[in-house]
Amino acid sequence: MFRFNPNRKAVEKGFLFTIGLLTVVAVLPLFYILYTVTLKGLPVILKRGTIFFTGTFSEGGIGPAIAGTFLLTFLSSLIGVPLALMVGMYSYENPRSVLGRWTKALLEIMMEFPTILVGIFVMAVLVIPMGTYSAMAGAFALVIILLPYVAVYTHEAMRGIPFTYKEAGYALGLTRIKVLFRILAPMAKRGVLTGVLIGIAKAAGETAPLLFTAGGLYESYPTSITKPVGTIPLLIYQLIQSPSPQDHATAWGASLVLMVIFIAVFIPLRMSLKEVKL
């Protein structure tokens, strides 16, 4: 027969409360970061004014670093995104082929790979032979960082499309390429673009792979992709090691700029992407 447990509802409530509490604890750091960076960064930017965004380092600004971040993000996306889309499509279309299976597995390993090793690899194959740090080397390292994210997200987004749409495309007498790129890829666009954004956001925010590749450039704007370039995260990393409070202030300001760029790119794009309703 049924046994009566007088604590049943209390246990349920306690359980829900605990889970709710743990959830709050888990996302708390995010809000703390937003809060601290704004609190410490905003006064610096307000005090220095527009020179902070446009001036060189000795003028009290981080203009070259902002330009460098955009340059490297642009270059690495330009090369990495199309390449990653192709790789993702390939592993989706050929999931049982030897190459397809390996690609998927390797991409997932690449996603979790320590990024500093990417930097060392690029240093060995580009920086040492060229004899200099360069924007090119930095961009190459970032391509390796963003590629697996974009490719894996593409693969997963494509896999989420019901098989019947693939059949419908082929039943119209379309070639494989047309079914893939004109029918299925647009259906998966939300997932694919999420991957692209995460990849780009990763590339824009990375520090470790740039340590031995991009070099750094803060007293003048970048002029060539074969010369060293600075980025915001790299600058923050270098300034935090300095003993000067002035440098720390610049680092806080730069952190706020990085955070705002990140939020400004990520949130509107993610919200504006319409989900394809099946």
Partner 1 sequence: MNFAIETVDLNVYYGKNHVIKDVNLQIPEKGIFALMGPSGCGKSTMLRTFNRILELKEDTRVEGEVRLFGKNVYSPEVDPIEVRRQVGMVFQYPNPFPHMTIYENVAIGLKLNGLVKSKEDLDERVEWALKKAALWDEVKDRLNDYPRNLSGGQKQRLVIARALAMKPKILLMDEPTANIDPVGTAKIEELLLELKEDYTIVLVTHLPAQAARASDYVGFLYLGELIEAGPTRKVFESPEHELTEKYITGALG
Residues at the contact surface with partner 1, assessed by CB under 8 A: 96, 162-168, 170-175, 178, 182-183, 186-187, 189, 276-278
Query: What SS3 state is found at 229?
Result: strand
260 and 188 in contact (C-beta within 8 Å)?
Answer: no
Provide, rounded to whole angstroms, the least separation between the CB of residue 163 and partner 1: 8
- Token pair recorded at residue 161: 């499309």
Rounded alpha-carbon distances, angstroms, from residue 225 to 81, 218, 274: 19, 15, 36
Between 20 and 162, name the residue whose CB sits nearer to partner 1. 162
Query: What SS3 state is found at 215?
Result: strand
Helices (H), 49-122: 51-54, 63-93, 98-112, 115-122
Between 154 and 207, name the residue whose CB sits nearer to partner 1. 154
Between 49 and 95, name the residue whose CB sits nearer to partner 1. 95
Provide, rounded to whole angstroms, the least separation between the CB of residue 154 and partner 1: 16
Provide, rounded to whole angstroms, the least separation between the CB of residue 112 and partner 1: 29
Q: Which residue has the tokens 């703390």?
A: 32
Between 175 and 226, name the residue whose CB sits nearer to partner 1. 175
Between 183 and 265, name the residue whose CB sits nearer to partner 1. 183
Residues 205-244 as b/e (b if ≥16 CB within 10 A, e otherwise) read: bbbbbbbbbbbbbbeebbeeeeebbbbbbbbbbbbeeeee
Provide, rounded to whole angstroms, the least separation between the CB of residue 274 and partner 1: 9
Provide, rounded to whole angstroms, the least separation between the CB of residue 108 and partner 1: 22
